[in-house]
């Protein structure tokens, strides 16, 4: 085999590895194993430069901050940033809820290899650590399902005083880059 052939194979392998990982933060133990789903956010959601956009109206939550928009390079990072903000802002009361209520597919977990198990494959779904915490979430789902499940989550969450999240204080939409 020629050097050019080897370089082509090496590039092909690198491209394959990049597609298998759901997010650049993951390690080999955190691969997306579900063969039924495409490997990346873009592939899973039909290609293109769309993404989940989250807008938080902090004033509606009685917090003195300006309205904040979260839109990272991929859906997983956007959701991880949202969860980090909720945990940082509302502390233990929010943590207690997020380890009980499903985020996208499962509640947050400190033990993702067993809690995010794909039983058909006997391997964990992909997962991502929430920055600055010991918690992980499983982003493995189609974009439309992520949006619907996040909306359902916000309809079930309560504030630390026990009151409901005000309607539309957090909006989740899909937006293109254009």
SS3 (DSSP) at 85: helix
* 44 burial via Cβ count (<10 Å: 0-12, 13-18, 19+): buried
Band of the pLDDT at 30, cuts 50, 70, 90? very low
* Section 51-78 average pLDDT: 96
CA–CA distances in Å: residue 58 to residues 2, 35, 67, 90, 121 = 60, 39, 6, 12, 41
**Where are the domains positioned within the chain?**
3-176
16 exposure class (CB count in 10 Å sphere: 0-12, 13-18, 19+): exposed
Q: Are 67 and 170 in contact (CB under 8 A)?
A: no
pLDDT band at 176 (very low <50, low <70, confident <90, very high): confident
Instruction: Give residue 16's pLDDT band: very low, low, confident or very high (50, 70, 90).
Output: low
**Buried (b) or exposed (e) across 73-112, using 16+ Cβ within 10 A?**
ebbbbbbbbbbbbbbeebeeebbebbeeebbbbbbbbeeb
- Calculate what percentage of the chain has a pLDDT beyond 90: 68
**Alpha carbon 61 to chain centroid, angstroms:** 22
Dump pLDDT digits (tens) for 72-110: 999 999 999 999 999 999 999 999 999 999 999 999 999
pLDDT at 148: 96
């Amino acid at each position: 085999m020629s050097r050019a052939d080897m370089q082509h194979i090496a590039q092909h392998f690198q491209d394959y590895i990049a597609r298998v990982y759901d997010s650049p933060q993951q390690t080999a133990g955190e691969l997306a194993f579900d063969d039924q789903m495409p490997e990346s956010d873009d592939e899973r959601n039909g290609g293109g430069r769309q993404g989940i956009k989250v807008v938080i109206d902090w004033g509606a939550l009685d917090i003195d901050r300006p309205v904040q928009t979260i839109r990272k390079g991929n859906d997983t990072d956007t959701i991880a940033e949202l969860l980090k903000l909720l945990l940082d802002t509302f502390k233990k009361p929010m943590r207690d809820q997020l380890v009980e209520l499903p985020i996208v597919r499962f509640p947050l977990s400190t033990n993702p290899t067993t809690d995010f198990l794909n039983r058909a494959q006997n391997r964990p779904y992909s997962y991502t650590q929430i920055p600055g915490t010991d918690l992980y979430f499983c982003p493995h789902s189609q974009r439309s399902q992520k949006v619907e499940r996040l909306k359902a989550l916000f309809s079930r969450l309560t504030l630390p005083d026990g009151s409901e999240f005000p309607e539309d204080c957090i909006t989740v939409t899909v937006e293109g880059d254009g």
